[in-house]
């Protein structure tokens, strides 16, 4: 059953008056719905929603029991992506499909190269400190080569 557009405002305003509790209703078919409450005439009234209709928990159709929602976060199982699935980048509005695929492919290639590079370094026992020292040495040598080249090219003029 769906909610009629004419009833949507009344439904939304009534639901706005309710406060969600830390309990849930378990129905005979196995599905669960949150329980809401409101204070009416000084008494707390427990309500549950069934097909966009509100019922007191004492007369809700198909209600088997009320359970307290656990405070522990739900256990999330990690699922590895099957071989062949490619995580794609978000498409920029107005971007052509070709440009998006090209950008996604380049990002995926860079990620793969970085992972492989890190794996190879770990296999060879290379530390981060050694990588930084190697880069610094390479930069010093490059500056020396550039200076020597600049000196040599000025002498020919």
Nearest to residue 63, comparing CAs of 30, 21, 37, 36?
Answer: 30
CB 52 within 8 A of CB 11: yes
Going residue by residue through the chain (157 aa), what tens digit of pLDDT does each one get?
677 888 888 888 888 889 888 899 999 998 899 999 998 888 889 999 988 888 998 888 889 999 988 776 767 776 665 555 566 678 888 888 888 888 888 888 888 887 788 788 778 877 777 777 888 888 888 888 888 877 776 665 5
| CB neighbours of residue 17 within 10 Å | 10
pTM of the predicted model as reported, rounded to 2 decimal places = 0.44
Report angle CA 20, 32, 11 to the nearest 5 degrees.
50
């Amino acid at each position: 059953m769906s909610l009629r557009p004419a009833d949507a405002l009344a439904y939304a305003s009534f639901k706005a008056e309710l406060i969600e509790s830390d309990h849930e209703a378990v129905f005979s078919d196995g599905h669960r719905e949150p329980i809401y409450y409101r204070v009416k005439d000084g008494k707390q009234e427990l309500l549950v929603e069934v097909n966009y209709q509100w019922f007191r928990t004492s007369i809700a159709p198909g209600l088997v029991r009320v359970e307290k929602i656990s405070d522990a976060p739900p256990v999330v199982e990690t699922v590895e992506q099957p071989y062949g699935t490619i995580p794609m980048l978000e498409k920029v509005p107005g971007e052509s499909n070709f440009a998006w695929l090209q950008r996604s492919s380049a990002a995926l290639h860079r990620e793969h190269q970085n992972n492989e590079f890190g794996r190879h370094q770990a296999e060879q026992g290379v530390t981060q400190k050694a990588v930084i020292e190697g880069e610094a040495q390479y930069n010093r040598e490059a500056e020396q080569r550039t200076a020597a080249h600049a000196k040599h090219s000025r002498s020919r003029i």
